[in-house]
Amino acid sequence: MEKILAVYNSRFSNLHEIKISPLSRAYTFSDSVYEVIPFYNFELIAFDKHISRLRNSCNALNLVLDFKKTTKEILQLISESNLKNGYVYYQVSRGVDAIRSHIFNDNLSIETFGYVVEHVFKSQKLKVMLCEDLRWKRCDIKSTSLLGNVMSMNNAKKKACDEVIMHKENILTEGGASNLFFTDDKTVFTPSISTNILPGITRELLINEIKDAGIQVIEDEFNINDLKNAESIWLTSSTKGVAQVSDVFDLEVSLIEDHPLYLRCNKIFNEKFLGGC
């Protein structure tokens, strides 16, 4: 089995050697939050923003994490891995119960788990499927409770799609594991931040960079009809970067492949964060 450097409750080892209790609340209740933190050319991308989002997720669930220790562990994973490009997955759970119980015991010890893997950051073209957003009302918390996303993305896979675009009763929310952008010929549109979407770090970085370059970005509420009129659609995430959508299954939309506005924004993002790759 491939060796993957990991850390569980501050102990470093091979990922496949870690044993956890089935009474971990991450296992029984998804009572846990996580981050995916990318690094490129040995440099972390927007590390402070990822830590700050992890802090928000922990605060929302009253998880008291030692952020100094977590930061140290993430940096150690990367340095010991010797990987040039990749990401760290880091998960924080409330801890291990004595017996499964919805109401947790106040003196549980926080359980942490992370690993580092190689990742190739490359431009992708995604086929996506439109679907109803099945999720709860706190999608702004980066919780490991992702069954709505998992069900939708696996249904999409059956239609040979790579991702989904979700909507709540016609109002567009986000991708299954990404944020949504679309454009007309000169303006970039994206659903505003709300408790219905994850405040993506890539989303924020991209918006800041392209606004600085003079491109108009409108953050608002959008619906499926708005998407039908799009000239280009993109999905953003820490591992996908800015990925253009080539086709939307079950939606009539005339997308322009390699749309000039997409190419411009993608270039701005890649030059700033991914060495222009």
Where on the chain is the footprint of ligand PMP (CB under 6 A)? 36, 149, 174, 177-179, 198, 200-203, 236-238
CB of 134 to ligand PMP, least distance (A): 12
Residue 122: exposure state from Cβ atoms within 10 A (0-12, 13-18, ≥19): exposed
DSSP 15: G
- Compute the distance between CA of residue 91 and CA of residue 32 in angstroms, rounded to an integer: 7
Q: Which is nearer to ligand PMP, 77 or 243 (CB)?
A: 243
**Cα torsion through 175, 179, 185, 186, rounded to 10:** 170
Three-state DSSP class for residue 229: coil
Distance of CA 239 to the CA centre of its chain: 8
Q: Which is nearer to ligand PMP, 108 or 148 (CB)?
A: 148
**Cα torsion through 102, 104, 110, 112, rounded to 10:** -10
Give the β-pairing of 32-40 and 163-168: unpaired
Q: Which is nearer to ligand PMP, 91 or 179 (CB)?
A: 179
Q: Which is nearer to ligand PMP, 135 or 259 (CB)?
A: 135
Candidates 194, 170, 190, 188; CA nearest to 180 is 190
CB of 255 to ligand PMP, least distance (A): 21
CB of 145 to ligand PMP, least distance (A): 11
CB of 142 to ligand PMP, least distance (A): 7
Q: Which is nearer to ligand PMP, 190 or 202 (CB)?
A: 202
What are 97's strand-pairing partners? none
CB of 178 to ligand PMP, least distance (A): 5
